Chain A
């Protein structure tokens, strides 16, 4: 992983000036599937900068919350306000990295070329991005033969190629080895340093401690706690978060 991150993030990110879409205000957000309520009147406010980690037990609604914020799903009720815009209006200014990367049946380089072309970006950015994620030497290899960590780095590079204002990450390091986890975290941290707002779902408490500026803890479809990371980890305020951090089963 020593070849990861050899170029400054400023060269990777060439964000066009645009009206800000942060802060974010979520009000009474509800998502139901027939009789099951997944998100239950969720309220959340996020500031313009930093890295927000969304944590909580399985089934708390973390991934669905990301998809709603990104405009990939419609809520059953409630409002998501990206500084006056709906999620659908700002999807193009955001990027989402899924837990399981969906890579095209093409070479590594062609996966990036595809996004750069689709979004009207210069193809010249491909090689710096590949250098950035440490995959320049695999540019011509089939993307779907990459290891899990490499595939996720490529998915991350593809997301960054769109120059997002907001980068959503949905457990991107689940089931990766420690070296791959650190490589991903380094790329994310650099993106954040380059001005990208990070909203990151994770189950990994260590990862949350390393990256988080603030933590949103979801429990049973609601925000059980939203605190600065410096307060959350030593002194969680909610019983659910306290139990979660102490390794007790939270359902």
Chain B
């Protein structure tokens, strides 16, 4: 079995060689996962905010469902999206199966509950602090949500990061709906799965190391933004 040292060497060699295939895979991974994170934030943040400030019948049940959906199995999500986008499925006419769009849809479904549930907790904590002042100012519900989302923006970056981390690291959903087609739907995780199954463990591990470095870089960038915000007491 090849050592981790060999894989590190290979990873460096791959990166330094400027391999076009590798770049394509990395960029597609980032494109799919960042787009899914963005769409999941657009869906999840308002839901999280309205549940955070809302007091309605069945709220506890909603919280349980939101929290439970955080643990959606990627393969199951992939299968559901597959069934909808397959030729005989209700959305088959769109012809999206085995395209990056289908992968984005699957990842969005996977991480929107994570964004909603985690942002709900962040925003509810902030709302406890602001609620009385906001009621005194007679803010509407929409104004309250907007203010909470803005004031929690740096904490919500971490929530977005959690969603991105889940998206970029998952393989089950994207391999089912994307099919791991070279130059079309191959992303880091599906490429790693493929190389592992082919027995090229060094290449698989090298791709894994590159994936880890990308995740580390995104985390470091967000952390530096948060630290800058903390210095201004905006966190």
Q: Cβ of A115: which chain B residues have Cβ within 8 Å of it?
A: 137
B139 touches A98 (CB 8 A): no
Question: Of the candidates A92, A98, A142, which one forms a contact with B133 in the assembled complex, judged by CB atoms under 8 Å apart?
Answer: A98
Residues A95 and B139 in contact in the complex (CB < 8 Å), given A102-B130, A114-B147, A145-B233: no
**Contact residues of A with B, CB < 8 Å?**
67, 70, 72, 91-92, 94-96, 98, 102, 104-106, 114-115, 118-119, 142, 144-145, 162
**Contact residues of B with A, CB < 8 Å?**
129-130, 132-133, 135-139, 143, 147, 150-151, 232-235
Q: Cβ of A96: which chain B residues have Cβ within 8 Å of it?
A: 136
Q: Cβ of A95: which chain B residues have Cβ within 8 Å of it?
A: 136-137
A104 touches B147 (CB 8 A): yes
Question: Of the candidates B137, B151, B233, B235, which one forms a contact with A119 in the assembled complex, judged by CB atoms under 8 Å apart?
Answer: B137
Offer 16 A-B interface pairs, CB within 8 angstroms, sorted by A.
A72-B132, A95-B137, A96-B136, A102-B130, A102-B133, A104-B151, A105-B234, A115-B137, A118-B137, A118-B139, A118-B143, A119-B138, A142-B234, A144-B234, A145-B233, A162-B137
B151 touches A106 (CB 8 A): yes
A28 nearest CB across to chain B (Å): 25
CB within 8 Å: A-B pair count:
44
- Ranked nearest first, the 4 interchain pairs of A and B with the lowest CB-CB distance are A144-B233, A102-B133, A142-B232, A92-B138
Name A146's closest neighbour in chain B (CB-CB).
B233
A158 nearest CB across to chain B (Å): 8
B233 touches A102 (CB 8 A): no
A72 touches B151 (CB 8 A): no
Name A161's closest neighbour in chain B (CB-CB).
B137
Name A91's closest neighbour in chain B (CB-CB).
B138
Task: Give Cα distance in the complex from A104 to B234, angstroms.
Answer: 8
B137 touches A106 (CB 8 A): no
Q: Cβ of A145: which chain B residues have Cβ within 8 Å of it?
A: 232-233
Name B143's closest neighbour in chain A (CB-CB).
A118
B135 touches A72 (CB 8 A): yes
B137 touches A105 (CB 8 A): no
Task: Give Cα distance in the complex from A114 to B139, angstroms.
Answer: 11
Q: Cβ of A106: which chain B residues have Cβ within 8 Å of it?
A: 150-151, 234
Question: Of the candidates B132, B138, B235, which one forms a contact with A102 in the assembled complex, judged by CB atoms under 8 Å apart?
Answer: B132
Question: Of the candidates A72, A104, A105, which one forms a contact with B136 in the assembled complex, judged by CB atoms under 8 Å apart?
Answer: A72
Question: Of the candidates B132, B133, B139, B235, which one forms a contact with A105 in the assembled complex, judged by CB atoms under 8 Å apart?
Answer: B235
B131 nearest CB across to chain A (Å): 9
Task: With a 10 A CB-CB cut-off, give which of B135, B136, B147, B233 has the most chain A CB atoms.
Answer: B136
